[in-house]
Structure 1
């Protein structure tokens, strides 16, 4: 491809540094043209290339890089290129810290990652690697696959590290070989009781997680997005090699072959059962004069592009929604209780569930093999549940259903989540709805500051209101900074007490075994990495020396270093900005929680003075003062709102806030649904333990 040439052409500036033969070489470009020719600018012991570029804002309307997009891509590349190590640092946001990607197992590690939260049917993924000479040159490919107890397939294919989301000839070749080999194995071993229907590719792939990565010298794609490979010779080559390799593997591993065959056979039986259930449902629908579910309150508009359906939790919320809706274009479907967790059920069982059946009928698309998106009756499917733990669970169950059985609804942008208000506040007979905790905090601070004055010790005049607002914002920024530091494992008091004689705060928190220590600068961290690597090598050599010579050949004698575990505690620019803003008001970060004398006096409307000794006391006082005279109602259920309130806050298209459900990262989505909704408890427990400290407003 064009690689860096294309990047250079669309960059306002591009710098390249090459570290080679003990010299640093540098060249500068501007919008594709050389600004400064290649020259030697110094000596070095490093080797490699560094490219720095600035997107051209005359070409791009948005020049900010999206962290999540880059994160996903680098993780993908690390999986697809075994042994490579990628370090990702986003200096714009200190919350992100530093991430290292390195997977010694390559796509085998990729499959194991995808199967976290699922129960694999055998220990290690099947790995096939092959190559073949084509007219355009040598083609190489590798495949890793493993079956698990779920009922969905997760297959990801790549060509030259590019994700082919629509598949193509390489994926067709793999799927064809897989189905053919399994059917041949079943017949030759006399396993199948009946050969009337046979096992289809869909049956074979049920519960299969696979990654296919190919390297093709001259790939041909359908369309500019490169989402589907069209080289016919690539598909034929993969089909031939996979057929031979998989046949050999099944012959040498009969226990694994038996597991795969049994899984496919049960899938075939379930497919037939689901087909019968679907036909029965269709026959019932045809006989039923009111084809739509009885619980559905439909709209009068017939154009799907103008119609929207609210899927609401319970009859009470359904009643409020029906009363508050605009009946011209808004339909309401109440569902009772928690729907079936489809992550743990086959399609036949799903179709028997009353609530799921009502949704399928209301949407009109069908499900499974009979799904037709052109029959969708509403182009906005809005999930509206309560703001409590049960509401969150129901929303998650609905999203799981749409993701696993109607993914095209999400991909087409038809699924939304309603954002009802969290609070209703009243002060002096003026009502206001508040949607988030941050908005609530800002509201209380505004009220808390409105009827008090602040005065510095030994000053007679109060601080100006604009200055108070700036000071409070600086303290809130400091609070967010403190929360960030403590979430990373270092209490703020320790952060302050660990300031070194040079005035530096601890920058990195390093975990060594069961203990932790801090590093202040990057060079200190690098020294710790070297020491840790030497310690690992010594331990490895000691372990190898303790194993008899004749046993060593049975195990790997290669040394694989584990990266040193550390987190970047804070970003210099962020801390500098907070300290600068506080010093502007004659305060320091230490005064947030450590009292060293009076910092401020608060004077209320009656003239009463209250001394404050820390900045934390100030924000606590203002929050509490803001609550005085405020009637605060926290909504947990939609049924607590009357019809007019629900319309005004959540259903009126002119005012409401909807969040569109998107699926930019299919890999992370598959991994997350499996982990949180699947059978395996251990990965879910680990996830909860990791993120427990970040939870706010826990509903117990």
Structure 2
């Protein structure tokens, strides 16, 4: 094998001109060439239209997903400039779509705050498209230009069937921006349709309607008054538009306050609080003089801060941050300032009221403040510095101090407000934060004692727990049973090798409305958390759970269903990873026992049914086969009515029992129903009862 040449001279260097660099290294500009990169291209075009609306021009954007894989974006903004750009001699349309780092967002006064910054969005999309058509309504005329892989020219389309496969003739001497029609007086806007280049993108890359839907909804919250219309004409199997074109409109006038209400999933501790403010900072940047020469100058920037936030009874945190309506999922200086200000302010207020709040000398941490917080943070400034073209992290350092100052001032005013509603909400919020701190400290102190104890160690488990012998978590099962009568039967029916029993007294605390402190001080809830042994809330560690399965074994009646719902709410609120991992189950005890009489000396056969419909079907089958059964048929009202053999055979023995695995959707649906039926809001419950009164089965009422 011949070794490679050691020569390395200037002739080995490659110089990529214009859009060649984009096609050679697309990942540098759009992150990847799969569905994520395909969606990023679409965001670039949509964001240009949104920037027009943000600047006060245009209120409507329409996105259409066509069956041929193309996508079309309409807006009623000012329209891309069609006059000739003096330096290049090209029309504004061609400059925007063929020149990197060209556009109206470099400080020319067209946009004070925008999502597009680097002037590469439209040109990158064009370079990575097999075909791109753009139409501009401006000055009473409709202009059009087409491109193939970034090169301007004309497509010879047969009829109205537009396709990137149509024959293409590039411009040779000079490019032309064609006038193809007239526009009504005062009507302006831009229409772009493009086909992504399959030479660049992977074959399985496709536009996600769900992502587009979420982004459109998000944008409609961030730009109040903007109307976004999505239309999917692809008829893809398994989508909402499978049967035919589907269209949705997103339009919100409430802004980010409405966004927070949409995002918040739990019951509220506070109303949505809105924090406003602004600041100025100086920045040293290169600017172009009249002759086009670059020079370093110090410019003064304005930064507007707008925050909407509310706390709920849960402990999950949902903070969304944006810069000029562009999402920054990985945060940045604005989010750092927000977090810093919240923690600093709450520490000050709690230290000042430590005696009243019984906070002791312990310091609250960030997680204590952010538990149950839903917030939307937006900042607007000209020419923000992002880390990379994907704009996931804001890098402008001066923004941190401005956001921190605004948030600290506004939150301090809220927490110290003398208005009755603010005062009541602040008291509840401070109590919640202190309880979160106590819960965290308690979890840390008892972390080691929550591990499984072996036979040689002293156990601190509740006395009523009947533990199993095995130390193998994967084999072990914890049955939560309803009351002592069911415990007595289950004790005889269980396999003590791997099945543990924990009885609970009736209906546990409604953790939907209770605070963390109330939950921890409740004997039944505390015992259950202690027995599971993995902590609670944010400190929950799935690997530390002492049992492979937790099985809720309650009676097959209305009260049993209520208790099961309360238990599921506890798991969903404070031990959610157990539900997400599929380790929480509901036992399915039988409702009836039918003793079928066998002829002769043969023992009678016992058949169990699990619903009224199943019983009716069984009796019909027996009658058809000419078999008799003993009357009356036994109807189990509770687990305590079974003997140990029956309970083992039907509900506890793995070979014969039926278990229902609780999925996260089940828990969420149960929580919504529980919040409706047991929450503090009376009006929806009254409507529900009135609407469902006619469907009530009176025989199910124990009276």
Cα distance 1:87–1:189, how it changes in 2: closer, same or farther (>3 A)?
same
Alignment of 1:84-233 (within 5 A): 84=227, 90=240, 103-113=252-262, 118=267, 121-122=270-271, 124-127=272-275, 143-147=307-311, 150=313, 152=315, 154-157=317-320, 173-183=337-347, 197=362, 199-205=364-370, 208-212=373-377, 231=393, 233=395
What's the counterpart of residue 115 of structure 2?
A: none
What's the counterpart of residue 266 of structure 1?
A: 431
Is 1:243 matched with 2:392? no
Query: Which consecutive residues of structure 2, in runs of 5 or more, have no partner in the other structure?
Result: 1-29, 40-64, 75-134, 145-155, 163-182, 184-189, 196-202, 232-238, 286-300, 599-604
Within 1, Cα distance between the matches of 2:656 and 2:488?
21
What's the counterpart of residue 4 of structure 2?
A: none
Cα distance 1:689–1:188, how it changes in 2: closer, same or farther (>3 A)?
same
SS at match of 1:233: coil
Cα distance 1:695–1:3, how it changes in 2: closer, same or farther (>3 A)?
farther
Is 1:329 matched with 2:329? no
Contact 2:489 2:640 in 1 (8 A): yes
Contact 1:117 1:675 in 2 (8 A): no
Within 2, Cα distance between the matches of 1:660 and 1:310?
14
- Which has a greater percent of helix? 1
Alignment of 1:558-577 (within 5 A): none
Within 1, Cα distance between the matches of 2:219 and 2:697?
34
Cα distance 1:186–1:6, how it changes in 2: closer, same or farther (>3 A)?
closer
Contact 1:181 1:243 in 2 (8 A): no
Within 1, Cα distance between the matches of 2:664 and 2:284?
36
Q: What CA deviation, in whole Å up to 9, does each residue of 1:268-312 have, x standing for no partner?
A: 654576579779989999999342222222222101122111111
Q: CA deviation at 1:378?
A: 0.5
SS at match of 2:474: helix
Deviates more, 1:361-370 or 1:155-164: 155-164
Contact 2:341 2:405 in 1 (8 A): yes
Within 1, Cα distance between the matches of 2:483 and 2:518?
22
Cα distance 1:172–1:91, how it changes in 2: closer, same or farther (>3 A)?
same
Q: CA deviation at 1:357?
A: 2.8
Q: Tell me: higher relative CO, structure 1 or 2? Use CA pairs within 8 A at least 6 residues apart.
A: 1
Q: What CA deviation, in whole Å up to 9, does each residue of 1:47-88 have, x standing for no partner?
A: 999999xxxxxx99xx9x999x99999977876775556789
SS at match of 2:570: helix
What's the counterpart of residue 167 of structure 2?
A: none
Q: What CA deviation, in whole Å up to 9, does each residue of 1:511-543 have, x standing for no partner?
A: xxxxxxxxxxxxxxxxxxxxxxxxxxxxxxxxx
Within 2, Cα distance between the matches of 1:180 and 1:258?
20
Query: Which consecutive residues of structure 1, in runs of 5 or more, have no partner in the other structure?
Result: 26-35, 53-58, 452-604, 606-625
Contact 1:130 1:141 in 2 (8 A): yes
Paired residue for 2:489, among 315, 320, 326? Answer: 320
What's the counterpart of residue 560 of structure 1?
A: none
Contact 1:139 1:214 in 2 (8 A): yes
What's the counterpart of residue 40 of structure 1?
A: 160
Query: RMSD of the alignment, in Å?
Result: 6.3
- Pair member with larger Rg: 2
Cα distance 1:180–1:659, how it changes in 2: closer, same or farther (>3 A)?
same
Q: CA deviation at 1:435?
A: 3.6
What's the counterpart of residue 608 of structure 2?
A: 433
TM-score normalised according to structure 1 size: 0.53
Within 2, Cα distance between the matches of 1:698 and 1:109?
44
SS at match of 1:145: strand
Q: What CA deviation, in whole Å up to 9, does each residue of 1:383-405 have, x standing for no partner?
A: 12112221122112212222222
Q: What CA deviation, in whole Å up to 9, does each residue of 1:609-632 have, x standing for no partner?
A: xxxxxxxxxxxxxxxxx9999965
Contact 2:319 2:375 in 1 (8 A): yes
**Aligned pairs, number:** 498
Q: CA deviation at 1:375?
A: 2.4
Q: What CA deviation, in whole Å up to 9, does each residue of 1:78-100 have, x standing for no partner?
A: 76775556789958899xx9998
Alignment of 1:283-682 (within 5 A): 289-367=458-536, 371-425=540-594, 430-436=605-611, 439=614, 443=617, 447=621, 632-663=633-664, 675-682=676-683
Contact 1:112 1:125 in 2 (8 A): no
